[in-house]
């Protein structure tokens, strides 16, 4: 069987191909002369499979899509406190080329606008790193997100640097406020160089998937940044990633995203996939016209919207019965599905409403998909309370979905691999 996903992506590209509205960025010749008809889409799953269609292996400069990733590096390298003290997290309501510094402090409103991105660049790498060492850290970091060594397009770099008056203005303003400590020209050079890194649409999908996968590159398996960093980056992308259209994007697409002036666009669907598109013509907000259209289709077709509630789930308790009788009788509770807060709550409520009638209890986790941290803690607390109530609790967990099964003071748990182990006790 051939997977339907490539067909789907190809169909999606075809459906938007005729739209030639918008225009390529024209502030440097390298972008102005980009082939405006390039079109690509790629999707990388959290287990590292990449689907793509169109010109997904064509390289282009990453531009502003570097921002969330360098922000992630800064958070990793300097910690939340230092980074937040120098670049905040509120949407600015301004378009991409606004200054958007806080009036008194000069702190940029968020790291997705240029001023904030300059700060993130300045905070990458260890304190005191020189320009070269810092840039090495950025290339290494973004390459780790992409899963391959990225290279700078020197022509784009030179051309952008030549026209970077606005960014020099921002960097000087940040220096005037002591938000950055270094020579503003060095900061701009570093940021411009980071924007000139060449990526393909496939690369971008992998980079986005690394965010969707708690910071672990799903292709290489290599951890790049920690889960708290990813959470911060995705949060900021969701409120600030699409410039002055963040609210509109949230209602219509509902996926943390970031666009770039060269025509790229990424979205990260936590726990599921990273998606990227490429089409160089931009709308008046500076976002890729066909890219935005594609993401709206993906949201509708793939159920990606963060606020979409899945249809009513199957009950967490698949079955409950007493097995055997007399002193050997054991009450079995078979769980199923994913065990996050809602399902765990359902299980503990079941025990409260209908307390077990036998001395021994078996929780059967064999049909459980995922257990998250709160699901685990609630289940263990229930076990602890059942122990205190006088029950002996067995857990059938052949695949070890319940890590570190310690219910805490007063609780006791016996993990078994098959039911026979219970009987043998």
Point out which residues pair with 257 in neighbouring strands: 267
Pairing relation of β-strands 360-371 and 392-396? parallel
In the complex, least distance from residue 214 CB atom to a second copy, rounded to whole angstroms = 5
CB nearer to a second copy: pick between 154 and 248: 248
Task: Report helix, strand or coil for 423.
Answer: helix
DSSP 288: B
143 annotated among ligand-binding-site residues: no
In the complex, least distance from residue 57 CB atom to a second copy, rounded to whole angstroms = 20
For residue 330, the surrounding DSSP H or E stretch is: strand 330-339
160 annotated among ligand-binding-site residues: yes
CA nearest 173: which of 69, 88, 102?
Answer: 102
CB nearer to a second copy: pick between 18 and 309: 309
Do 299 and 254 touch, CB atoms closer than 8 A? yes
8 annotated among ligand-binding-site residues: no
CB nearer to a second copy: pick between 112 and 204: 112
Q: Give the C-alpha separation, 121 to 190, whole Å.
A: 7
Do 396 and 425 touch, CB atoms closer than 8 A? no
Q: Give the C-alpha separation, 372 to 150, whole Å.
A: 35
In the complex, least distance from residue 188 CB atom to a second copy, rounded to whole angstroms = 9
Pairing relation of β-strands 317-323 and 273-278? unpaired
For residue 339, the surrounding DSSP H or E stretch is: strand 330-339
Q: Give the C-alpha separation, 241 to 422, whole Å.
A: 53
In the complex, least distance from residue 422 CB atom to a second copy, rounded to whole angstroms = 20
- List of residues 6+ apart from 145 with CB closer than 8 A: 69, 72, 206, 207, 210, 217, 224
In the complex, least distance from residue 46 CB atom to a second copy, rounded to whole angstroms = 6
Q: Give the C-alpha separation, 111 to 118, whole Å.
A: 8
Q: Give the C-alpha separation, 392 to 281, whole Å.
A: 66
CB nearer to a second copy: pick between 34 and 237: 237
CB nearer to a second copy: pick between 197 and 416: 416
DSSP 184-216: HHHHHHHHHHHHTBEE-HHHHHHHHHHHHTTTB
Catalytic annotation, residues = 64, 67, 191, 243, 261
- Which residues line the annotated binding site for substrate? 64, 114, 160, 167, 191, 243, 261
């Amino acid at each position: 069987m051939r997977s339907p996903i490539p067909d789907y992506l190809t169909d999606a590209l075809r459906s938007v191909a005729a739209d030639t509205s918008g225009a390529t960025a024209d502030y440097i010749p390298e972008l102005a002369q980009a082939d405006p008809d390039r079109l690509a889409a790629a999707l990388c799953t959290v287990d590292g499979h990449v689907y793509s269609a169109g010109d997904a292996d064509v390289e282009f400069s990453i531009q502003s899509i570097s921002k969330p990733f360098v922000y992630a590096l800064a958070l990793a390298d300097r910690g939340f406190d230092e980074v937040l003290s120098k670049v905040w997290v509120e949407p600015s309501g301004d378009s991409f080329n606004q200054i958007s510094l806080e009036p008194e402090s000069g702190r940029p409103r968020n790291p997705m606008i240029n001023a904030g991105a300059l700060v993130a660049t300045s905070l990458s790498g260890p304190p005191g790193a020189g320009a070269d060492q810092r840039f090495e850290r950025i290339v290494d970091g973004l390459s780790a997100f992409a899963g391959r060594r990225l290279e700078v397009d020197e022509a784009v770099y030179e051309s952008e640097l030549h026209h970077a008056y606005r960014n020099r203005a921002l960097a000087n303003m940040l220096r005037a406020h002591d938000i950055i400590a270094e020579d503003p020209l060095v900061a701009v050079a570093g940021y411009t160089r980071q924007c000139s890194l060449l990526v393909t649409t496939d690369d971008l999908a992998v980079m986005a998937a690394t965010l969707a996968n708690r910071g672990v590159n799903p292709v290489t398996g290599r951890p790049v940044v920690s889960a708290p960093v990813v959470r911060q980056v995705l949060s900021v992308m969701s409120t600030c990633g699409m410039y002055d259209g963040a609210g509109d994007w949230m209602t219509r697409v509902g996926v943390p995203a970031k666009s770039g002036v060269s025509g790229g666009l990424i979205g990260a669907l936590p726990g599921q996939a990273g998606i990227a598109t490429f089409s160089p013509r931009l709308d008046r907000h500076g976002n890729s016209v066909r890219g935005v259209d594609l993401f709206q289709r993906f949201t509708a077709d793939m159920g990606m919207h963060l606020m979409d509630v899945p249809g009513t789930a199957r009950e967490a308790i698949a079955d409950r019965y007493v097995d055997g009788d007399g002193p050997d009788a054991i009450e079995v509770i078979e769980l199923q599905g994913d065990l996050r807060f809602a399902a765990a709550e359902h299980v503990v409520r079941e025990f409260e409403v209908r307390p077990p009638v036998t001395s021994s209890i078996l929780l059967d986790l064999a049909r459980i998909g995922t257990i998250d941290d709160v699901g685990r803690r609630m289940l263990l607390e229930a076990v602890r309370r059942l122990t205190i109530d006088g029950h002996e609790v067995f857990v059938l967990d052949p695949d070890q979905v319940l890590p570190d099964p310690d219910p805490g003071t007063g609780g006791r748990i016996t993990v078994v691999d098959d039911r026979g182990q219970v009987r043998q006790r």
